Amino acid sequence: MKNNYKVFLIRTLDWIVFSIFVQLKIIFIMPKIYSYILSFITLITLTTCSTVLSVQTPPSVSDQEIVMSPPATEVPLPKVDYIFLPPTPELEKTEYARKDITENFSPREKADIAVPDPKLLADENSLVIDLALITGDDYAFPLPGAKVISPYAGRRRHHSGVDLKTCANDTIVAAFDGIVRMAKPYAAYGNVVVIRHYNGLETVYSHNSKNLVKVGERVKAGDPVGLTGRTGRATTEHLHFEVRINGQHFNPNKVFDMEKHKLHNSCLVATKTGRNIAVKAVDILPYQRESEYRYSYAGVPVSDKNKKIDL
């Protein structure tokens, strides 16, 4: 409607201008006067049109486009009292599940190296010790910086451990956490220390110039337990180091990399047949650690004592 009104007004003004133009053309002959008058009339016409067109005519209801918008929905925000938020619990270091070992030693356990633990493998025929689950803080190489001068099993006669060359009075440290089972002079071993560990292993340190621990003392991995020497049957200062399960020794190279002084990332499977114990180092996949052997940490035996481990 507004647009129609504008068109009508413009056309009316055009007709008025045209009529005046025709009349003036007839009356006035002089072009110059005609030009001045025409310019004046045109200026008045344009000014009038501009004033009229600038007037805003309110649109009618019929000309308005009605748009229905959906009602606004308010989403309620959760009310959180930030002042009374519960504190975030701090992560604690989870200790491994320790094996049930004998901690009150009999006179024989205090006097002899090759003595079995009455509790270990008492109701099971297999024991699994996962070395991969023992972290760096839970083990230590017994003599840092030393190298092997005599391997396990020996060359001419049977050797029950490895000999690590050292200087006199170097510090010997515990390989794992445990309890000192034996600390005394013992035959060809000289001054010897035997530690029963919570993971089911026992370690032997011999030819010491001095023992630094006593029977029943609890030690952590890396704690000093003795000083190196040449007591007993030894021709030079060195550490004779053994690893045992239930009193029976096996190759320490299955536990430690003797060159890198690191713990192997493998699994020890000890199988008991009568009085003999065979120890085998195997590589276990993560899914096997959770399902097939069903144990939680180093030294926890398999749950089925009749289950045969065939690796």
Q: What is the 3-state secondary structure (H, E, C) of the chain?
A: CHHHHHHHHHHHHHHHHHHHHHHHHHHCCCHHHHHHHHHHHHHHHHHHHHHHHCCCCCCCCCCCCCCCCCCCCCCCCCCCCHHHCCCCCCCCCCCCCCCCCCCCCCHHHHHCCCCCCCCCCCCCCEEEEEHHHCCHHHCCCCCCCCEEEECCCCCCCCCCCEEEECCCCCEEECCCCEEEEEEEECHHHCEEEEEEECCCEEEEEEEEEEECCCCCCEECCCCEEEEEECCCCCCCCEEEEEEEECCEEECHHHCEECCCCEECCCEEEEEEECCEEEEEEECCCHHHHHCCCCCCCCCCCCCCCCCCCCC
Last residue of a domain, which of 37, 53, 69? 53
Tell which wins on pLDDT, 198 or 70: 198
Within 8 A by CB and 6+ apart from 276, the residues are 248
**Amino acid 307: pLDDT:** 42
**Amino acid 163: pLDDT:** 95
Phi-psi region of 247 (alpha: psi -120 to 50; beta: other; left: phi over 0): left
Examine the domain organization and report whether 129 and 47 are in the same domain: no
Global pTM exceeds 0.95 = no
Phi-psi region of 299 (alpha: psi -120 to 50; beta: other; left: phi over 0): left
In this structure, is residue 92 part of a structural domain?
no
Examine the domain organization and report whether 44 and 170 are in the same domain: no
Examine the domain organization and report whether 144 and 25 are in the same domain: no
pLDDT digits (tens, 9 = 90+) for 80-133: 555 555 554 444 444 444 677 888 899 999 999 999 998 888 877 888 898 988
For tokens 């507004």, the residue is 2
CATH number (domain holding residue 286): 2.70.70.10
Examine the domain organization and report whether 140 and 44 are in the same domain: no
pLDDT digits (tens, 9 = 90+) for 129-185: 989 889 888 999 999 889 999 999 876 678 899 999 989 999 999 999 999 999 999
Within 8 A by CB and 6+ apart from 118, the residues are 102
In this structure, is residue 160 part of a structural domain?
yes
How far is it, in rounded angstroms, from Cα 217 to Cα 180?
A: 5
Examine the domain organization and report whether 41 and 121 are in the same domain: no
In this structure, is residue 90 part of a structural domain?
no
In this structure, is residue 211 part of a structural domain?
yes
**Amino acid 304: pLDDT:** 40
Examine the domain organization and report whether 118 and 49 are in the same domain: no
Is the distance from CB of 1 to CB of 60 less than 8 angstroms?
yes
In this structure, is residue 174 part of a structural domain?
yes
Confidence class of residue 58 from pLDDT cuts 50, 70 and 90? low
Within 8 A by CB and 6+ apart from 237, the residues are 165, 166, 167, 168, 207, 209, 228, 229, 230
**Amino acid 48: pLDDT:** 62
Examine the domain organization and report whether 49 and 122 are in the same domain: no
Examine the domain organization and report whether 27 and 158 are in the same domain: no
Q: How many domains does the chain have?
A: 2
Examine the domain organization and report whether 251 and 152 are in the same domain: yes
In this structure, is residue 285 part of a structural domain?
yes
In this structure, is residue 177 part of a structural domain?
yes
**Amino acid 91: pLDDT:** 41
In this structure, is residue 157 part of a structural domain?
yes
Examine the domain organization and report whether 134 and 272 are in the same domain: yes
Tell which wins on pLDDT, 143 or 6: 143
Residue 24: give the domain boundaries.
Answer: 2-53
Is the distance from CB of 87 to CB of 70 less than 8 angstroms?
no
Examine the domain organization and report whether 124 and 41 are in the same domain: no
- Provide the percentage of residues in the chain whose pLDDT is more than 90: 45
